[in-house]
Homo-oligomer: A and B are copies of this chain.
Amino acid sequence: MRINRKRLEESMEALGRVGATAKGGLNRVALTDDDRRGRDLLVEWMREAGLSVTVDQMGNIFGRRAGSDGAAPVMMGSHADSVPTGGRYDGQLGVLCALEAIRTLNDRKAATRHPVAMAIFTNEEGARFQPAMIGSGVMSGKIPLEDAYNARDRDGVRLGDELERIGYLGSEPCIPRPLRAYLELHIEQGPILEEQHLSVGVVEGIVAISWSRLTLTGVQDHAGPTPMRIRHDALVAAAEIVRGVREIPRKIGGDMVSTVGRLDVTPNIPNAIPGRVSLSVDLRAPEEHHVTRALGFLDRLVKEAARVEGVTYELDHYWRVPRTHFDVEVVDTIEEAAKGLGYGYRRILSGAGHDAQYMATICPTGMIFVPSRDGRSHCEEEFTPMDDIEKGANTLLLAASKLAGAA
């Protein structure tokens, strides 16, 4: 049993046109009109594939193909939102490979004991509403529904209001549900599979992640007549911190990474000394205690930079996801599938958070990676060769069928 490569490719093309950017990327940020159009198209396809479609209180979309008994479903899925200048693979590839796997089961009229289902999770990227993975976070009981509804974007727009506006505020409770397994295919977003000429990553788990936000408050003043000796420049302190954050992984060792991805200056005009700067710090490591140590470094770094420049600060470590270990049986099943199909594969750790992270807290979970050209993602240049996608999708189909108890 193999997926239909041509059909998958056509679906990728069609969905990729919704929110396409001029440079071949994707701008389909969560709960925008384009997100709605993408969801509408997917729901149409899911209905055409005979799935019973439901939407929950967080706008997560589910489609279910009946099994031969009422057992808990094997669910495949990912997300359909993108970052503002993102690519056509991050997220939507996992959704479309799940759909293609189900379409293939339909082609073969294959019966499974467990139902086979697919899921499209809301706001995985966290580009517009924080935190990221909010749809699966609520479903797994880790984020209160009301907190999620009250998340606001930069313009102050509420997530709950946007869900309603685009017509995806569903009625089904967003709570943990009995699942045989959750499987997510996703692009690696790193360089390892490509460097080693492999098609499939058998993901063993996800690194520990911490997000912090920092606001520095100095003294806003005119850039001309204010002597250097009396300045308290929030951006100068921020620059010291950006540099210091860059150095943290070197001090910690291992495969830790650190990033200041967001930085906003107030008033942000050429002739005013910045009075306020807010910025984000993203820390990740395969070892939980490395993140804990890194946060200690960050605390001291911020304190010292603020002291030197004479600015005040608020530092909030507001989001932390522990190291995720995927289910041994699911990971082994994925590995056997890739091996049995004769594909080049390796076990790998995910450096990015995924909905699978939250799903792993409520059911046996595993992930499949396919390569990212030059290791790049969250950019318009994102690319995965179709040969690798086909292999990933076949691995997903085989592993899901096995877990679902195919006849």
Residues in A lying within 8 Å of B, measured CB to CB: 83-85, 90, 125-127, 130, 132, 188-191, 207, 209, 211, 219-228, 230, 233, 235-236, 238-240, 242-243, 246, 249-250, 255, 257-275, 280, 282, 284, 350-353, 372, 375-379
Q: Is the CB of B236 within 8 A of A270?
A: no
> Closest chain B residue to A283 by CB distance?
B223
Contact A225 B350, beta carbon cutoff 8 Å? yes
Bound-state CA distance A211–B272 (Å) is: 13
Identical copies in the complex: 2
Nearest CB of B to A399, in Å: 22
Contact among B243, B272, B350, B378 for A240, CB-based, below 8 A: B243
A162 to chain B, nearest CB (A): 17
Task: Compute how far the CA of A191 lies from the CA of B246 in the bound complex, rounded to whole angstroms.
Answer: 37
Find out whether the CB atom of A267 lies under 8 angstroms from the CB atom of B85: yes
Q: Contacts A227-B375, A239-B243, A263-B265 known; list 15 others, CB within 8 Å.
A: A85-B220, A189-B224, A191-B230, A211-B270, A219-B379, A222-B351, A223-B257, A223-B259, A223-B282, A223-B284, A225-B351, A228-B257, A262-B265, A262-B270, A272-B378
Q: A249-B228, A267-B83, A271-B282 are in contact. Are A221 and B376 (CB under 8 A)?
A: yes
Instruction: Determine the main DSSP class of A at the interface with B.
Output: loop
Q: Which B residues are in CB contact (< 8 Å) with A223?
A: 257, 259, 261, 282, 284, 378
Taking a contact as CB atoms under 8 Å apart, the answer to whether A83 and B257 are in contact is no
Contact between A259 and B243 (Cβ–Cβ < 8 Å)?
Answer: no
Pairwise interchain contact B267-A189, C-beta atoms closer than 8 A: no
Contact B351 A226 (CB under 8 A): yes
Taking CB atoms, residues of chain B closer than 8 Å to A282 are: 223-224, 270-271
B228, B266, B280, B353: the one contacting A224 at CB < 8 Å is B353
Known: A226-B189, A239-B243, A351-B226. A379 touches B270 (CB 8 A): no
Decide if B375 touches A230 in the complex (CB within 8 Å). yes
